[in-house]
Structure 1
Amino acid sequence: MANQERIIPSAASIAPWLSVSSAAKALEFYKAAFGAAELYRLEEEEGRPLIAELAVGGASFWVQEDSESRGAGGSGGGPVRMILTVNDPDGMHRQALMAGANEIMPVGEGHGWRIGRIADPFGYHWEIGCRLE
């Protein structure tokens, strides 16, 4: 590897991309559950969203319409689990449940975190928590 230069980007990020069976319903859910802001949207001619970028605080993720989507309950999901780090995990957890999420684990403390887990209506699991000091 002598004389080879490594390119190191000055800024990089990784954003999850979720395939769901109904992007319109997913966008509504994530906005209601997490207060997500829509940053970008690509629509079909009929106005249905195909792809959208959402952000919760400074953390962004993508949602894609995928009629072939299969996972938990045949409605998306799969092996990806999200972690959403927020200042008030109890409040965000309650908000997600009120928006239609299912509780997998109530918010509690362990391993230096206050954290709980929900499953969204599309089969994805979201850990919602904050580090304890």
Structure 2
Amino acid sequence: MDIPEHYRYSVIPHIMIDGAAEAIKFYTEAFGASELFRLDGDDGRIVHAEISVQGSTLMLGDAEGPFGPPGEAGTSVLLHVYVPDVDALTARAAAAGAELLSAPADMPYGARQSMLRDPSGHVWIFLTPIAA
């Protein structure tokens, strides 16, 4: 069996959230995500969902059992996404409710970058390549 194209050559982040349905709505509004798949549990919680953000697949679900959302001390996971216009996406995400951690800025490694925290507590780094 072939590995599906959108899973090939990548490490697929799978994040657990309190309120996965609300997170999907936020990611759609803030980051232009599209929902690929959703498996709802009998209790209405999302057991497993997949969304596409800028062509990359992100798996998520409602936190339960041994899996939990980011703690108050922060998170050990950063989600990096290259986008065509980091300034526009940052403005869109902030308007949708993301917390701006660092405004778009040109970095010495050849990218314009911003950092945002989503309402679930996950930290996203968005980058647009620029001339170094």
The TM-score with structure 1 as length reference comes to 0.83
Q: Is the 8 A contact 2:39 2:49 kept in 1?
A: yes
> How many percent identity over aligned positions?
30
SS of 1:73's partner is coil
Partner of 2:82: 85
SS of 1:117's partner is strand
Q: Is the 8 A contact 1:19 1:66 kept in 2?
A: yes
- Counterpart AA for 1:113: A
What RMSD in Å do the two structures reach over aligned CA positions? 2.1
Residues matched between the structures, number: 123
Q: State yes or no: 1:101 paired with 2:103.
A: no
| Cα distance in 2 for residues equivalent to 1:73 and 1:19 | 15
Partner of 1:12: 9
Q: Any idea what the Cα deviations from partners look like across 1:85-114, whole Å, max 9, x if unmatched? A: 100000100111011100000001012110
Q: Is the 8 A contact 1:23 1:51 kept in 2?
A: no
- Counterpart AA for 1:115: Q
SS of 1:91's partner is helix
Gaps of 5+ in 2: none
| Cα distance in 1 for residues equivalent to 2:22 and 2:15 | 13
| Cα distance in 2 for residues equivalent to 1:57 and 1:131 | 14
SS of 1:115's partner is strand
The structural deviation recorded for 1:17 is 0.6
Q: Is the 8 A contact 1:19 1:64 kept in 2?
A: yes
Partner of 2:125: 127
The structural deviation recorded for 1:46 is 4.6
Gaps of 5+ in 1: 1-8
